Chain A
């Protein structure tokens, strides 16, 4: 059975994404809610995800809930939040063995759908409230999670750059919010947030497996019908905000290695063909071992172990981050800007364009090889007007020209530089 994808409208603002294949040993069912992003809502969504995955009305004790998952052959059950542009997605999923592998022919798909519905629609509550112990634990876990962002210095530096660059945009809000917002929200607020989410948020139901998802869709849609929805529509529009000047932020910490993170904005509204030229330009600039940042700043200049460029496609951002000795930060910054200038001048040859096309086509072909990569492909393109499959993506990549790439590079402007330096004596 070849892999097929079918997207359909199941109800107002409820989309079904059916990824049909028999190549996996699993069945994956997930629900993704599209939600606005601000600091308070970020905390609410994260605590809600923790509460919904901790216990349900049917399994009020987390020990019992996890024992149930073990009985479903160790099914993976998770709830979490991701960012897509200026929005957050609360995602809840369960991945189990496909029915054909159940030793006693148990209807795993049916049981997992029921489990997911229990978690989402009938969480463990008393008199319409989450139990104080459950709420307190989830709140503590969220606060510790926010506090721990400092532990991974690379991620911390990137997050600090985006906070600075996007201080007036939802994208600059960290998932989970701040320690202040996480500490201040109440259990009652989370209940309201949950109820509102079920009633109004656009939802995508994704099923990856070999059977028709119709029974799963039917069960879940019925749950939504019982609630009575009044959904909102979300259609974000890209707006380019040209920076008036470059913002620089510097911190010091007890560190052996400094971090340099540079945030760039690009006017992708002018870019042709689904931002492909923007993606490819960034790949040649700093996304791969054949890229300018790797071959020049890392290999030739020998300054750093990593120096990479990553795009944020919905916002038209490029983030270049590098781990470099604090004494070499200026040289690294100079090197990075020099390489961007060379991209803008068209100083890259046909061989590297072909390498980029081959690499992107190769990656796109591999998207269908895991359930999570297929789902991520479509969720990251949630707001795209024309949903492009991996196959269509490959065709479009082949058509990009050098002029497209040069124009994409010329659209890029530096917005923010964040530097994390080691304190004197710590290097």
Chain B
């Protein structure tokens, strides 16, 4: 494989991108002055990929909710044992996660990188599912689901997603429910694995104190020669309008927790330019330097947990304002008023320049961290962006760009308020 080297001289950073014969992309950022390394072997398969067919199949298969996450748990096991017992011999710290649009298997280590990398490449490519191991895992994952059921952060988010989306599978709980995971068996796991854990659909990211050529030659040696599989996800109609404007759930919390979500249109991933501009705009509106933030704080309507962010991925995007408040609806009313006022007044130039300076600084500071760079490259692998694209976007962003976003983003009729209120 001949890697392409992408550099950013002002930042003093560079990384390599190579493409394996299978179509799998490999991203490597050497940071030789750090002690540790971070490696990710991921697939662009997550909880939203719940209905699909492969080329030649007439019908779509709809799989039980939570299966991508279940598969992630099971992949660590093999006929001889499990991957954790192998990592125990190398000292690496290993983990995995399933998100809406991806599943990633990863490790961090400061030594024995090659041994650990070999383990990663091996166990992810060699599934082993049996009736007995599936049944055993149901007990463990049921407890994980119960843990999430008790988490106000988790519940306020999924209630917001269910309020926003009719059919978009982002509304599906990543872990599923006790009822849905009871339907999972070894055959279904193999079917999902064989469909989505196809190297063309996967990626590798390695950052830190590594030798890029060594990483590439290990990939050449250990990546299997598999033919690409063409997968189509089942199309669905997602109306522009939301499902409902308000959802409330009582849980043992101290004060109400809320998310006010505003639905955006998304076909694939939002372009990085839009994502960056929206993030900058949200900083203008409710960043800690904003008068609005301190008005709400001074009036006792929010606390330090309050924030705004873009929640987005493959085929979904929404803006979320979240926090704790004794009166979430009043916070929403004030936010709406502030947005309307900002649309009238426009963004002051000195404000814009300050935000841009902040974004430049924060972007640079993120390169302090080997894992942070690895996670950023994982995003690049999924959405097709480049690691340094954001630097350029920040530099070239204009106040007009943000004001354009300001005028087009906020359709209050496409918003929902999700509240977790204290149990009485």
A interface residues with partner B (beta carbon < 8 Å)? 22-26, 62-63, 66-67, 69-76, 95-97, 101, 103, 133, 137, 140-141, 144-145, 147-154, 253-257, 288-290, 294, 298-299, 302-306, 323-325, 351-352, 354-355, 358-359, 361-363, 365-366, 368-371, 427
Chain A, residue nearest B178 (CB): A256
Residues on the B chain within 8 Å of A290, using CB: 84-85, 88
Q: Do A363 and B93 touch across chains, with their CB atoms under 8 A apart?
A: yes
Q: A306 CA to B140 CA in the complex, in Å? A: 9
With known contacts A66-B287, A257-B147, A289-B87, A361–B361 Cβ distance under 8 A: no
Residues on the A chain within 8 Å of B298, using CB: 133, 137
Q: Do A257 and B146 touch across chains, with their CB atoms under 8 A apart?
A: yes
Q: How does the 8 Å CB contact mask read for B357-373 relative to A, with 1 for contact and 0 for none?
A: 11111101101111000
Chain A, residue nearest B85 (CB): A290
Q: Do A305 and B140 touch across chains, with their CB atoms under 8 A apart?
A: yes
Chain B, residue nearest A361 (CB): B91
Q: Do A25 and B152 touch across chains, with their CB atoms under 8 A apart?
A: no
Q: Do B300 and A303 touch across chains, with their CB atoms under 8 A apart?
A: no
B405 beta carbon closer than 8 Å to chain A: no
Q: Do A289 and B111 touch across chains, with their CB atoms under 8 A apart?
A: no
Residue with the highest number of chain A CB atoms closer than 10 Å, among B252, B358, B361, B367: B361
B108 beta carbon closer than 8 Å to chain A: yes
Instruction: List 28 contacting pairs A-B, 8 Å CB cutoff, sorted by A.
Output: A23-B34, A25-B365, A25-B367, A25-B368, A26-B368, A63-B290, A70-B358, A73-B360, A74-B357, A74-B365, A97-B361, A97-B364, A103-B360, A140-B300, A144-B255, A153-B150, A154-B147, A254-B251, A294-B84, A299-B140, A302-B136, A305-B140, A305-B141, A305-B144, A354-B89, A355-B89, A369-B34, A371-B368
Q: A352 CA to B91 CA in the complex, in Å? A: 11
Residues on the A chain within 8 Å of B268, using CB: none
Q: Do B84 and A305 touch across chains, with their CB atoms under 8 A apart?
A: no
Q: A80 CA to B17 CA in the complex, in Å? A: 41
B223 beta carbon closer than 8 Å to chain A: no
Q: Which of the residues A75, A151, A254, A302 comes within 8 Å of B139, measured between beta carbons?
A: A302
With known contacts A24-B368, A355-B89, A256–B150 Cβ distance under 8 A: yes
Q: Do A148 and B324 touch across chains, with their CB atoms under 8 A apart?
A: yes
Q: A358 CA to B369 CA in the complex, in Å? A: 22
A364 to chain B, nearest CB (A): 8
Q: Do B361 and A75 touch across chains, with their CB atoms under 8 A apart?
A: yes
Q: Do B290 and A359 touch across chains, with their CB atoms under 8 A apart?
A: no
A330 to chain B, nearest CB (A): 16
Q: A26 CA to B362 CA in the complex, in Å? A: 10
Q: How does the 8 Å CB contact mask read for B337-359 relative to A, with 1 for contact and 0 for none?
A: 00000000000000000110111
Q: Do B93 and A362 touch across chains, with their CB atoms under 8 A apart?
A: yes
Given contacts A26-B365, A325-B143, 8 further A-B pairs with CB under 8 A are A70-B289, A71-B354, A148-B254, A150-B254, A151-B253, A257-B143, A323-B147, A354-B89
B400 to chain A, nearest CB (A): 20
Cβ-closest 9 pairs across A and B: A73-B361, A358-B91, A365-B110, A74-B358, A257-B146, A355-B88, A362-B91, A66-B289, A289-B84
Q: Do A255 and B35 touch across chains, with their CB atoms under 8 A apart?
A: no
B195 beta carbon closer than 8 Å to chain A: no
Residues on the A chain within 8 Å of B255, using CB: 144, 147-148
Q: A365 CA to B208 CA in the complex, in Å? A: 13
B266 beta carbon closer than 8 Å to chain A: no
Residues on the A chain within 8 Å of B300, using CB: 137, 140
Which residues 98-119 of B have a CB within 8 angstroms of A? 108-112
B332 beta carbon closer than 8 Å to chain A: no
B interface residues with partner A (beta carbon < 8 Å)? 31, 33-36, 84-85, 87-94, 108-112, 136-137, 139-141, 143-147, 149-152, 251-255, 257, 287-291, 294, 297-298, 300, 303-304, 324, 354-355, 357-362, 364-365, 367-370, 423
Chain B, residue nearest A324 (CB): B143
Q: Do A73 and B140 touch across chains, with their CB atoms under 8 A apart?
A: no
Residues on the B chain within 8 Å of A351, using CB: 88-89
Residue with the highest number of chain A CB atoms closer than 10 Å, among B87, B94, B252, B257: B252
Residues on the B chain within 8 Å of A302, using CB: 136-137, 139-140
With known contacts A63-B290, A137-B298, A366–B140 Cβ distance under 8 A: no
Chain B, residue nearest A153 (CB): B150
Q: Do A369 and B94 touch across chains, with their CB atoms under 8 A apart?
A: no
Q: A351 CA to B87 CA in the complex, in Å? A: 12
Q: Do B110 and A366 touch across chains, with their CB atoms under 8 A apart?
A: yes
Q: Which of the residues B140, B147, B150, B324 comes within 8 Å of A144, measured between beta carbons?
A: B324
With known contacts A144-B255, A304-B143, A369-B36, A74–B361 Cβ distance under 8 A: yes
Q: A237 CA to B104 CA in the complex, in Å? A: 46
Q: Do B253 and A63 touch across chains, with their CB atoms under 8 A apart?
A: no
Q: Which of the residues B88, B254, B257, B367 comes within 8 Å of A352, measured between beta carbons?
A: B88
Q: Which of the residues A256, A359, A368 comes within 8 Å of B149, measured between beta carbons?
A: A256
Q: Which of the residues B251, B287, B303, B364 comes within 8 Å of A101, measured between beta carbons?
A: B364
Q: Do A365 and B254 touch across chains, with their CB atoms under 8 A apart?
A: no
Chain A, residue nearest B111 (CB): A362
Q: A398 CA to B94 CA in the complex, in Å? A: 22
Q: Which of the residues B152, B297, B370 comes within 8 Å of A137, measured between beta carbons?
A: B297
Residues on the B chain within 8 Å of A152, using CB: 151
B128 to chain A, nearest CB (A): 15
Q: A137 CA to B301 CA in the complex, in Å? A: 11
With known contacts A71-B357, A153-B150, A289-B87, A255–B252 Cβ distance under 8 A: yes
Q: A267 CA to B75 CA in the complex, in Å? A: 41
Q: Do A370 and B361 touch across chains, with their CB atoms under 8 A apart?
A: no
Q: Do A63 and B140 touch across chains, with their CB atoms under 8 A apart?
A: no
Residues on the B chain within 8 Å of A288, using CB: 88
Residues on the A chain within 8 Å of B33, using CB: 22-23
With known contacts A63-B294, A361-B111, A366-B35, A427–B361 Cβ distance under 8 A: no
Residues on the B chain within 8 Å of A151, using CB: 152, 253-254, 257
Q: Do B84 and A256 touch across chains, with their CB atoms under 8 A apart?
A: no
Chain B, residue nearest A61 (CB): B294
Residues on the B chain within 8 Å of A144, using CB: 254-255, 303, 324
Q: Which of the residues B108, B137, B147, B355 comes within 8 Å of A70, measured between beta carbons?
A: B355
A279 to chain B, nearest CB (A): 15
Q: A67 CA to B200 CA in the complex, in Å? A: 46
Q: Do B368 and A147 touch across chains, with their CB atoms under 8 A apart?
A: no
Residues on the B chain within 8 Å of A137, using CB: 297-298, 300
Residues on the B chain within 8 Å of A323, using CB: 143, 146-147
Residues on the B chain within 8 Å of A359, using CB: 88, 91, 93
Q: Do B360 and A63 touch across chains, with their CB atoms under 8 A apart?
A: no
Q: A223 CA to B403 CA in the complex, in Å? A: 45
Q: Do B357 and A289 touch across chains, with their CB atoms under 8 A apart?
A: no
Q: A253 CA to B251 CA in the complex, in Å? A: 10
Q: A302 CA to B144 CA in the complex, in Å? A: 12
Residues on the B chain within 8 Å of A72, using CB: 361
B421 to chain A, nearest CB (A): 12
Q: A24 CA to B253 CA in the complex, in Å? A: 40
Q: A73 CA to B361 CA in the complex, in Å? A: 4
Q: Do A298 and B254 touch across chains, with their CB atoms under 8 A apart?
A: no
Q: Do B147 and A370 touch across chains, with their CB atoms under 8 A apart?
A: no
Q: A76 CA to B358 CA in the complex, in Å? A: 10
Residues on the B chain within 8 Å of A140, using CB: 300, 303
